[in-house]
Each structure stands twice: as C-alpha cells, then as structure tokens.
C-alpha cells in the first residue's frame, strides 16, 4: 500500500463506526491468527545475507563500505542495526494482517532517543526514518522486539531476562494502542512523551537516575557542542576540522581548486533546500551564510551513503550552525511493498518523519542534487545536533532494559496511530497478553537468525570475500 492508498484507507476507516472498525480488526485474526505472529523460519530460497548487504554497497562510496562492515562486526547487535534489508526480505515471506500504517522501517531500540522540541522541551521519540514507508504495522513491532532479544543476548541476559524485556515492549505497544483507540483524534495527534519532572516521578529510582543521566547528556549535545568538536578557528575564520576518514573537508577530497566549485554548488543546494521549508523557517535560514562542507561517516547501516556536514554562520564567527545533509536512497521496504509515491527519496523520509514524530526539527527539509557525481542524489537536511541523547543499552540490566523497551513500544504505537487505523489494530491485539507472549517466540527465533547472519559476515571477511575496516 502506497501513501495515497494509505490515505484512502484512513478516509474509508473514518466513515466506519467505532464498532465496525473494531470488528474489522478482530476479523483479521482469522486471516492471520495472533499466534502466527510468533512464527519464523527461514525460507528455503532465502537470499544470502552477505549478498544482500553487497547489493547495497553497489550504490555507496566504495572506500567507506569496509567501515560499514567493520562496525557491523562489533557485535551481533551492531550487525542487526545494519541489517534492515535482510530483515525486510525475511518479513516479506510471511503473511501479514494487512492493517497498515506509516512504518519507521528500522524500528530497532537504538533508533529511539531524546531530542529537543521546537518549544525546547526534551522529548523521547523515534529518531531515524531513512527506511520509512507505509506497510503492515507488525513489521515495525517485530523489528523492535527482535532487537531487544538480540541486545539482551549481547548483555548476557538469560532466557527469562530476555523474555521479561520483550514482553514489556510488546505490552507497551498493545496497551498504548488500546489507550489511543479510545482517544479523540486531536488528542492522539497532540500525544507525545516529554522528559520532565512528572515523568521522572512516575518511575522507580533506578530508572529515574538513568533518565536524569541521559537527559543531562542530551541537553549538552547541542549545535554549539557539535561546533566545538567539529570546527575550529583558523586565521580568524571558523572551519571544519579534518579527521579522516570520519570527517573530511571537501578540499581534502577533491583539491582546493575544485573545492571552490563544490562550494558554489552547495550554496545553490542550500537555496533549493530552503524551498522545502515553510516561510518562517526559510526566513531564519536566510540569516546564515555558507562557510564550508565536509564528508562525514554516520551510523552503522548508513555508512557509505553520502553524508555532508555543512557549516553556516549567522551574525558572526561565534554564531555557527551545523546542518547534516544526508543522502536518502530507496527504502529497504520498497523491494517488498509498494514503491514510494514520492519521486524524491529524501522527501519520502521527511514526509514519513513529520507524520510519525510528535514534533520534528524546525529545519528538517529536503533537496535533490543533479550536479557533480560526489553530490548527486536525494538529500534530507536537519540540524546536526539539537539536543540528542540515546540510552546506553549495553549497560542496562534486564529490569532497566524492560522499562526502556516498554517506552519504545509505547512511542511506536503512538507513531503508528497517526496514520494507521488505531481502533482496528487495537481490536486485533486485544486486551490480554496473547500477542505479547507470541512475540517472545518470534524475537528469540529471529535473534537466532541474526546470529547466523552475523557469523556469515564474519566468515566472508575472514575469507576475503568482503573487506572490513575497524574504527580506531
């Protein structure tokens, strides 16, 4: 189902009564029994996982692909973070509920985090939308619960500990969806998770300490902190630092003479990006002037795609703004669901983010470059850091990770409820824990599959089939 079809489905659902929407959801239990959500077995003709990863490498910067593999080999959980295409391929072989919503497409637990709202509150939400596309709601839920099982294994949790964590996430999604199903439309749209004194007071002392520590760190990770780390002043002018291969100014990639041409083109691209903003934000950006660009290596699964840091200056050298200009490719889901209706992949990302997030970066926008090869592609743009925090999953106990997983499940339900039929999804899930428990089985089975795929990549590197470069 594409975005247009999803909109039509929402309109059709709105014409049904609440009782009819509930019956629609319950009827899907016949088409896909809830117990079937726990089923996973690799297809007989399952593609080779390394071959799938290599298919993505074809469109990426060749010299950076070994860094991607090196980062994925850090642990089975790191591998899972980079293996969204592999899991999408596996999900496509299974029946689904046909109840659809805008998907994150890569809803593993490290793609949730803290960032600033336009009102300067600290909020907890999904924070990565590179793979967003309309699709079956359960694909995101399965991606989330499997990530918790994989992380639990990496943390040394026993089977009971992992079960506790996965149950909490599944329960969080189900209970939140049931709560949202009973709410008014505007109340659903306004719902969001603010990290404040009220939230801290609602949790146990261990979680409260973790929230305070993560929140304090997030508030320090703002644009000024990023500038202190990624820029310096040379002869009275602010410049991006050089830290190859992770951050490389354009003049070091193409030479000083050719870099001037790239600077001209990036100025033009910034003008193009501004057209994707509303008039107020566009006016804000006009107060800044271009001062330089550098290629940056980001994430795990994204390594090898083109990502640029662009330095802008406001009133003077002490008023810097860093933008991340990141390439958007086709979603990994597009090979298995309907292709995006957006001709620009970056517009797909921005539209999905605005639909799923309770509040988005005020400078979030998009552009398309058809110029120089090193710049060609679709790009979405956002502030590099506008407060940013992520939980230290590796240090969590089963109890803390269970609470974190529950929060992720709740946020995911809220995100799905903005586009999907929350009443029908809630009716399918029900009030009992049947779905929660069957998802434990799926999470464990898919964690087994992830370990096999991780071993396959390790073997491919050991056999020199692919090269890996490890972060220093």
Counted residue by residue, the chain has a size of 472
**Domain extents in the chain:** 3-218+394-462, 222-386
3-class DSSP state of 263: helix
SS3 content of the chain, % helix, strand, coil (to 5): 55, 15, 30
How many other C-beta atoms lie within 10 A of the C-beta of residue 172?
24
End-to-end distance of the chain based on CA atoms, in angstroms? 43
Contact 10, 21 (CB under 8 A): no
Q: Concatenated DSSP letters for 442-470?
A: HHHHHHHHHHHHHHHHHHHHHTTSS----
Task: Give the span between the Cα atoms of 411 and 340, in whole angstroms.
Answer: 24
In terms of DSSP H, where are the helices of 221-361? 223-230, 250-254, 256-274, 279-285, 345-356
pLDDT by residue, tens only, the chain of 472 residues: 555 566 666 666 668 999 999 999 999 999 899 999 999 999 999 999 999 999 999 999 999 999 999 999 999 999 999 999 999 999 999 899 999 999 999 999 999 988 777 777 788 899 999 999 999 999 999 999 999 999 999 999 999 999 999 999 999 999 999 999 999 999 999 888 776 554 555 566 666 666 667 656 656 666 667 778 899 988 888 999 999 999 999 999 999 999 999 999 999 999 999 999 999 999 999 999 999 999 999 889 899 899 999 999 999 988 999 999 999 999 999 999 999 999 999 999 999 999 999 988 999 999 999 877 778 999 999 998 766 677 788 888 999 999 999 999 999 999 999 999 999 999 999 999 999 999 999 999 999 999 999 999 999 999 999 999 997 6
Task: Give the span between the Cα atoms of 314 and 284, in whole angstroms.
Answer: 10
Contact 297, 64 (CB under 8 A): yes
Q: Which residues contact 264 (CB under 8 A, 6 or more apart)?
A: none
């Amino acid at each position: 189902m594409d975005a247009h079809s999803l909109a039509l489905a929402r309109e059709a659902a709105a014409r049904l009564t609440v009782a009819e929407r509930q019956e629609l959801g319950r009827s899907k239990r016949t088409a896909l029994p809830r117990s079937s959500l726990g089923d996973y077995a690799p297809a007989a003709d399952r593609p080779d996982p390394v071959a799938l990863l290599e298919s993505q490498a074809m469109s990426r910067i060749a010299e950076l692909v070994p860094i991607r593999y090196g980062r994925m080999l850090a642990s089975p959980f790191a591998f899972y973070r980079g293996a969204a295409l592999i899991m999408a391929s596996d999900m496509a072989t299974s029946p689904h509920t046909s109840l659809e919503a805008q998907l994150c497409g890569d809803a593993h637990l490290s793609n949730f985090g803290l960032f600033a709202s336009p009102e300067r509150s600290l909020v907890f939400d999904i924070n990565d939308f590179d793979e967003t596309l309309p699709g079956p709601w359960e694909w995101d839920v399965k991606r989330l619960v499997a990530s918790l099982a994989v992380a639990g294994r990496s943390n040394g949790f026993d089977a009971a500990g992992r079960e506790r964590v996965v149950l909490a996430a599944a329960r969080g999604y189900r209970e939140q969806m049931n709560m949202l199903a009973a709410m008014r439309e505007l109340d659903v749209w306004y719902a969001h998770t603010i990290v404040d004194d009220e939230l801290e007071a609602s949790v146990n002392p261990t979680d409260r300490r973790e929230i305070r520590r993560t929140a304090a760190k997030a508030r320090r990770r703002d644009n000024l902190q990023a500038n202190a780390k990624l820029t310096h002043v040379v002869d009275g002018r602010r410049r991006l630092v050089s830290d190859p291969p992770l951050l490389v100014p354009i003049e070091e990639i193409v030479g000083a003479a050719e870099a001037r041409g790239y600077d001209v083109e990036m100025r033009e691209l910034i003008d193009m990006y501004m057209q994707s903003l509303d008039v107020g934000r566009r006016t804000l950006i006009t107060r800044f002037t271009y001062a330089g660009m550098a290629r940056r290596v980001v994430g795990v699964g994204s390594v090898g795609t083109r990502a640029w840091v662009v330095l802008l200056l406001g009133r003077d050298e002490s008023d810097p703004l860093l933008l991340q200009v990141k390439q958007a490719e086709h979603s990994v889901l597009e090979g298995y669901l309907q292709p995006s209706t957006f001709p620009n992949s970056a517009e797909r990302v921005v539209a999905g983010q605005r639909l799923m997030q309770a509040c988005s970066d005020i400078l979030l926008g998009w552009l398309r470059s058809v110029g120089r090869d090193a710049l060609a592609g679709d790009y979405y743009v956002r502030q590099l850091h506008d407060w940013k925090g992520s939980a230290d999953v590796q240090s969590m106990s089963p109890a803390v990770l269970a609470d974190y997983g529950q929060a992720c499940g709740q946020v995911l339900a809220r995100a799905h409820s903005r586009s999907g039929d929350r009443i029908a999804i809630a009716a399918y899930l029900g009030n009992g824990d049947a779905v929660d428990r069957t998802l434990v089985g799926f999470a464990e089975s898919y964690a087994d599959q992830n370990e096999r795929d991780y071993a396959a990549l390790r073997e491919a590197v050991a056999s020199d089939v692919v090269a890996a470069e490890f972060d220093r």
